[in-house]
Structure 1
Amino acid sequence: MFTIRVPATTANLGPGFDCIGLALNLYNEIRVELNAKNEFRLEIEGWGAEELKKPENNLFLQACQEIFVRCEQKMPGLNVFFLNKIPGGAGLGSSAAALVAGLVAGNLLLGEPFTRQDLLEIATTLEGHPDNVAPALLGGCVVAVKTENRVEWLRWEVPAEELAAIAVVPRYLLATKVSRQVLPRTVSFADAVFNVNRVALLVGAFAQKAWDKLAVAMTDRLHQPYRMPLIPGLNEALAAAQEAGAYGTALSGAGPTILALVAPERKQQVAEAVKEALKKKGISSDAYLLSPANRGVWIET
């Protein structure tokens, strides 16, 4: 028997569409043991408790199976207990967490034939982009680029004593597929230049721990403006976070979660400001007061 812990992630970090993500200290826990009858038995607490009991909806099982298929082996029956603390359909990487945990579980069951780089490549293929799976696997802040042949990446540790994260989750779901459908096929040259500039500044801010640059570095024109109509109160919530002292704000992933990076002592203040801004628009929400997670997925045996 072994247990896997995998962190939440916030991706599309500011202007880093499909390439920059940050791991957060909110974890799903998956306990795995072999089933003597060669059957699959799933027990789930927390998010997705009903939906994920169906194997066809369970990305953990699908990813685990992928490892066995690649090794031309039959997957054994498993007893799997899930404790899901990462909200589903919220833009905090719940799907990436399930994929990464499943790949790691399958790899361990087969004696670890794949390296972390191999697992990142497989996870990116399954997910379609690396910005959630990379920090879930590696921890910290990761910039990852999918090329024709491999995933190239760089990673930074983020000091929790200097930088905290607020994730305010509106109490409604927004499917990633729906959120992607509103994105344009092309963007203007001016908007492309805008994001290139901000991505460069964002990478520099994390490399030099220049958190005061995040207000500018986390602005975006490639996806956030197009998704704003799907997320009532988003503009007001982002503005409220800035006014309450956040370093930088953004839509987390495909939404609807609002992310604010803040000084640790301002976590509560900023969270309350964002929740109040959403409340004024008639939207209930839950606030998660988090820190960067510099350790990616890990296994306890």
Structure 2
Amino acid sequence: MTIPVFYSITDDFTPYAAVSLSSLAKFVDPKKDYTVTFLHQGLSKAHEESLASYAKDNLHVEFYEMSDALLKPIQDRKENYLRGDFFTMSIFYRLFIPDLFPQYDKAVYIDSDTVVNDDIAKLYETELGDNLIGACVDSSIQFVPEMLRYISEVLTLDPKKYINSGMLVMNAKAFRDEKFVDKFFSLLGRYHFDCIAPDQDYLNEICSGRIKYVDGRWDAMPNENTEPLANPSLIHYNLFFKPWHFTGIQYEDYFWQDAKDTVYEAELKAELAKTTDEDRDIERHKLDHMLGKLDTTLQDPHNWARVKESEQVTL
């Protein structure tokens, strides 16, 4: 049996993904078998080779190019923008894992802006029962009033149960059996919900009531409102707290320690050095762009809340 782990990646994200993969490789159990697959569109051969170099006898590194035909229904529309100002197809790749890899009844997905500090097999072994996913409550939004209001009033979900999609244990068999992708495309094509966090909102809506909540140490995120977790198992540099852009953020030491073991350390340090205070200010204000959708989504006659109320949409 292999433990399948998936990343979604764009070419420019390779240095960060290399740090994540390098960290994951350090903790694999020599008695277990792992396959890491990078979902991408147009990853360069040089970057494939650099990521493949972390393979071991029991850690296989593979690449899967997502087809344009599969992704065609997801368009470059404003409701699908990430962080309020740009569109990236890669955030949707994770939704297709169960259908693309029918050999797996269960899989782990993690974002590329992560570091792993424990054996990922422990996460994979999470007992899901009949839940669709295992995930952690999104700690990055718990002190953002606008996001709490958006989740409560637009999605009509409990913010304390709203999960972050940067780490998922996927019940792949249930996704296939219950035609998750068909539901997603149906909702996407019919309603064009204007989302602050597009793929994440759909996962929260469709999986609501069938989520296994995993210990928050498996999706620890830097923030300015709480103390860091002791011994985090997986750190997710979510939103704008990227150690290659900011200094003095929570968990940054983990990233730079793992970066030392990659060929990208110098490049990453150079990126940090050339990031100006103006650049950092722009990064911080991207959150404002995201939250700028709140007023329009609250008034939208076809937002999640109104559609669920008027049409009794079954998710």
TM interval, shorter chain, is under 0.3
Q: Greater helix percent: which structure?
A: 2
Q: What TM-score does the superposition give when structure 2 sets the normalisation length?
A: 0.26
- Using CA pairs under 8 Å that are at least 6 residues apart, name the structure with larger relative contact order, 1 or 2: 1
Q: What TM-score does the superposition give when structure 1 sets the normalisation length?
A: 0.27
Q: Greater strand percent: which structure?
A: 1
